[in-house]
Amino acid sequence: RKHNNNNNNNSSNKFVPPLSKEYIRDRIDIDDPLRGFQIRHASGGWLQGFVLWTNFTTWTHDFCWDSLHPQSGLLQAQQQQQQQISNHQSPQHWNNNFIQDTDGSLAKELQASPRSGDPSDWEGIVFHNIAEIALLGGLGCGELLLRMALEEILKCKKAPQEGDSDDKDK
């Protein structure tokens, strides 16, 4: 990296991390269970990338999955996409491979997901069947790490929670 001795332009050379150390520490301290992978250089052992995931947790009793609410941002993104298509432009920042919850059915399914816990006792409300990518960083290997994490998430089955039993009639 080139060092600029001009004091008037120091701010343009200062590295600003995309995530604060405090945020990263909080995720590592609070998220439980926390799972992940790392990729290291084959001969030197240098860290090349990492991914951490956990169960989705919310810290409020009032949390609600609602993709049709104006503050979700999804309706505006869909309107912007439609406008770009009608203007014969290539839609920006939208991938048709993603699920578009235009009728709110995905949000309703997420809202019906099993959960347990209480934010007032520092446990949070944990959604046992919904994964959250907590942290991801990679030098040319972020896509591979994300694919590895998604494969592992899909392989893992939720362990039965206390009170959840298929053998209630036994």
157, HSE (Cβ side, Cα atoms, 13 Å): 2
pLDDT under 70: residue ranges of the chain: 1-11, 90-99, 157-170
- Nearest Cα to Cα of residue 160 among 124, 118, 119, 128: 128
Burial of 134 (0-12, 13-18, 19+ CB in 10 A): buried
Q: Side chain identity at 28, as an amino acid letter?
A: I
Q: Cα–Cα distance between 33 and 55 in angstroms, integer?
A: 7
- Nearest Cα to Cα of residue 59 among 117, 112, 107, 113: 117
pLDDT at 10: 57
Q: Cα–Cα distance between 142 and 153 in angstroms, integer?
A: 16
Number of H helices, E strands in the chain: 5, 4
Q: Cα–Cα distance between 82 and 88 in angstroms, integer?
A: 10
pTM of the model: 0.68
Q: Cα–Cα distance between 39 and 137 in angstroms, integer?
A: 10
Residue with tokens 């990338």: 49
